[in-house]
Structure 1
Amino acid sequence: MRVMVMTKGDAADEGNSEPTTEMFEKMRVFNEQLVNAGIMLGGEGLQPSAAGAKVAFSTAGTTVVDGPFTESKEVIAGYWIWEVSSLAEAIEWAKRCPFDPSYGDSQILEIRPLFDLADFARTVDADTLAKSERLLDRTSD
C-alpha cells in the first residue's frame, strides 16, 4: 500500500522559521531509517505558500490566486510517499517522526492512502485504465 504523508504547519507562522542544523540532522536520520527499511519512495519539503499559487475551478470559470494563502489555518509544509503494508504501519512510522517544539503544537502528519489504477476498475473501462497505466510507466523511466 502506498500512502502520502503530509506534514502540516500553522499558516500564521509559515516561512518564519528555518530548521536548525540539529532538527535537519534529526530529519535526515529519520529519512535514512525510512529508506533503509524500504518505506520511503520520495519526499520533499515545500517552500512557503507565498511562493505558490492556487488554481480554482468553478462554473464561473477558472481563477488563479497567488500565495500566500492567508485564509488557511494550516498549510502543507512537505510530504513523503511511503510503501507500507498497512495504514497501521504508516502510523507507527509517523509517530517516530522528529518533533521540533520551536514550531509549536501545530505540527500534524496526515496519512492518506494513494489510489491504484485497479481501484477504478468498477467505474472505468479496461482500455482507459490500460492507457493510464502505460502513461504512468512512462513517468518512472
Structure 2
Amino acid sequence: MRYMMMHKLNDSNPVHWTPTPEFIAKFAAYMDEVNKAGVLLAAEGLLPSSAGAATVTKKDGETTVVDGPFAEAKEVIGGFGIVQVRDQAEAVEWATRFADLFDYDIEIEVRRVSEYE
C-alpha cells in the first residue's frame, strides 16, 4: 500500500523555512533510514508561498486564481513523502519518526494513495 505523508508549516514563520544544521543532520539520518528500509518512493520539500504559489478555485462555474504569498493561510503544506508499506500503522510509524525531527509543533497528515485494481 502506498501512503502520502504531508507535513504542514506556518507559512509566515521564518523558523519553519530555514532549517538549522542540526535539523539537516537529523533529516539526513532519517532519509538514510527510510531509504535503507526500502519504503521511500518519493519525497520533496516545498518553499513558502512567498517563493511562488497560486491557488486555483472553481466555484459556481467561475474559476479564480489567487497568487501567493497567502497572508490569510496560517499553515501550508511544507513537503511530502510517499512510502510503500504494509499498512497504515507502518505509515504512521514513519510519520511519527519524521515528526520527532522537529523542535516545534508540527502536523503530518497520512493518507492512503488511491490504487485502482
TM-score by length of 2: 0.89
Structure 2 residue aligned with 1:44: 44
- Tell me the alpha carbon deviations over residues 86-125 of structure 1, each in whole angstroms, 9 at most, x when there is no partner: 0001111111124332xx32x111100000122xxxxxxx
Task: Determine if contact 2:9/2:76 at 8 Å carries over to the other structure.
Answer: yes
- Tell me the alpha carbon deviations over residues 55-99 of structure 1, each in whole angstroms, 9 at most, x when there is no partner: 111224111100112222311000001001000011111111243
State the distance in 2 between where 1:22 and 1:14 align: 16
Name structure 2 gaps, 5 residues minimum: none
Tell which deviates more after alignment, 56-65 or 82-91.
Answer: 56-65
Task: Determine if contact 1:15/1:48 at 8 Å carries over to the other structure.
Answer: no
Q: Which amino acid aligns with 2:63?
A: T
Shift of 1:26: 0.8
Q: Which has the larger radius of gyration?
A: 1
* Runs of 4+ with >6 A deviation: none
Structure 2 residue aligned with 1:114: 113
Shift of 1:19: 0.5
Q: Report how many residues are paired.
A: 115
State the distance in 2 between where 1:88 and 1:14 align: 32
Structure 2 residue aligned with 1:99: 101
Q: Which amino acid aligns with 1:86?
A: D
Structure 1 residue 90 corresponds to structure 2 residue 91: yes
State the distance in 1 between where 2:61 and 2:28 align: 45
State the distance in 1 between where 2:14 and 2:111 align: 23
Higher share in strand: 2
Identity of aligned residues (%): 39
Shift of 1:25: 1.4
Name structure 1 gaps, 5 residues minimum: 119-141
Q: Which amino acid aligns with 1:108?
A: E
Structure 1 residue 11 corresponds to structure 2 residue 11: yes
State the distance in 2 between where 1:77 and 1:99 align: 14
Query: Once superposed, what is the RMSD of the aligned Cα atoms?
Result: 1.7
Structure 1 residue 58 corresponds to structure 2 residue 92: no
